[in-house]
Amino acid sequence: MIVAEQKPIKQIYEIIKPYKKVLILGCGTCVTVCSAGGEKEVATLASALAIMSKELGEKGEFLQQTIERQCDREFIEPTLPAANSCDAVLSLACGAGVQLVSDMTTVPVVPGLNTKFMGITQEQGVWTENCRGCGDCVLHLTAGICPVSRCSKSLTNGPCGGYNKDGKCEADREMDCGWILIYNRLKERGMLDNLRKIMEPKNWSLASVGKPKKVIREDLRIEPEKIK
């Protein structure tokens, strides 16, 4: 999932301060799971902003709505009348959601969250990065542990010479060495031969950095003339 965290309340208020009527739009998937932008967070933020507005002698009006996903047009469309009736939309979604809502509305759409990374729920209240979208997954060779995200140097052919004997990374003593984790799991599963397979240099042009990427499935597309 995409992990995000809410911007400081004072920063959010400064962002929406120019607008009198604001729709706070939550997202019901990733940012709900990481407790950053779901229905509960929308309600809490709306209440906090209303209190701040009142204390400052301003007359801000804050509407609330949470949709299934802000990264799909079909879920955004039903909320457009409410969004376009406001002066702005405060989106509690990842950066992709903010941009799509902005593409579809006629009013400014501003972010209420900072998008952090793709990751997992490690434990209650703790989320960790597990994927950097490198575009060339090698998890079948590394027993399901990503060397790009779990190694601080993103090494793809074993650990560097500086890992610590206790299995920690030399760059961050609080971080487990990704390649020690990979080795131990390969050993447990009888797959150590995978370490003999030399990986080619990573083609970073496939990664989710630099030029915006696009995935097209022609078998799933609908021809324009067939769309009514």
**What's the farthest any 2 CA atoms get from each other in the chain?**
69
Minimum mean pLDDT range among 99-108, 169-178, 179-188, 216-225: 216-225
Does residue 228 have a pLDDT over 70?
Answer: no
- What global pTM score does this model have? 0.85
- Kindly write down the DSSP assignment for every residue of 17-84, as one continuous string: TT-SEEEEEEESSHHHHTTSSSHHHHHHHHHHHHHHHHHTT---EEEEEEES-SSSHHHHGGGHHHHH
| Tens-place pLDDT, residues 120-153 | 998 889 999 999 888 899 999 999 999 999 999 9
At 206-222, the pLDDT tens digits run: 776 666 667 788 888 88
Q: What whole-number percentage of the chain has pLDDT above 70? A: 95
> Hey, which residues does 21 pair with through a beta bridge?
61
- Give the domains, in start order, of the chain with CATH numbers: 2-117 (3.40.50.2300), 132-206 (no CATH)
